[in-house]
Amino acid sequence: MAKPKITRLSDPSNPYGARKTPTRARTADEKMDAASRSRSAPERAKPKPSQPAKKSQYMEARERAINSRIDRADPPRRSKK
């Protein structure tokens, strides 16, 4: 048996995942009730700006060691063609 060709998920001829019965249109009262509930949601508090994390003594010493190695390193040699 051949599988049905599906163009889109929203296609009414799609046998997979489609609703068996059409949905009922909402009344004006239901629409108004839903709109008032969506508008009455409390406003979310804005998150406080995060402070940069203070580096530990180990990380400061590690960065100083790496940077000093880079500063003292010889410049890269040009490659021969």
Pick 70 or 29 by higher pLDDT. Answer: 29
Q: Is the pTM of this model over 0.85?
A: no
**Dihedral sign from CA coordinates of 50, 51, 56, 59:** positive
Alpha carbon distance 71, 40 (integer Å): 60
**What pLDDT is recorded for position 58?**
94
For 16-44, the pLDDT digits (tens) are 665 566 667 888 898 888 888 776 666 77
> Cβ contacts of residue 34 below 8 Å, gap of 6+?
26
Name which of 58, 56, 75, 54 is nearest 66 in CA terms: 58
Checking if the pLDDT of 64 tops 80, the result is: yes
Neighbours of 14 (CB within 10 A): 14
